[in-house]
Amino acid sequence: MKKIVIALAMGITAISSMAATSMKFTVNGMVCSFCAQGIEKSLLKMGATKEVFVDLKKKTVAVEAKEGQVLDAKAISAEIVDAGYDVVKIETVLKSIAEIKAELKSRK
């Protein structure tokens, strides 16, 4: 019994130390900070969303998942499309929003 408990505890630590999971959407049609704010707001309302980051210049919307939760790419795309923008590319990346931001900055 003790062994099982230890194994479970180890399993939980392994999951929580996993890299953050995010999705990067390439979105056409976002032109100003109001566009960005609107998208941020609607995506933050979704249950699995931890953080949202919009980069207008790079036409990128990044969404980070809450720990242990899975992002719904279809639902997120639908939100963006409903708001009047075009989703042209979806990528899953094992990075946090902070890491994605740093990456976009270094890639001027």
20 vs 54, beta carbon nearer Cu ion: 54
The least distance separating Cu ion from the CB of residue 44, rounded to whole angstroms, comes to 17
A 10 A CB-CB count for 76 gives 23
Measure the CA–CA gap between 63 and 46, rounded to whole angstroms: 10
Measure the CA–CA gap between 71 and 67, rounded to whole angstroms: 11
Stretch that binds Cu ion, among 8-16, 32-40, 50-58, 59-67 (CB under 5 A): 32-40
Question: Could you tell me which of 56, 51, 45, 58 has the C-alpha nearest to residue 95?
Answer: 51
Of the residues 8, 34, 107, 108, which one makes contact with Cu ion according to CB under 5 A: 34
Instruction: Report which residue type is found at 36.
Output: A
Work out whether 35 is an interface residue with Cu ion (CB under 5 A). Answer: yes
Residues 47-66 that bind Cu ion (CB under 5 A): none
Work out whether 32 is an interface residue with Cu ion (CB under 5 A). Answer: yes
A 10 A CB-CB count for 56 gives 14
42 vs 73, beta carbon nearer Cu ion: 42
4 vs 34, beta carbon nearer Cu ion: 34
DSSP 8-state symbol, 85: -
- The residues of the shown chain that bind Cu ion, judged by CB under 5 A, are 31-32, 34-35
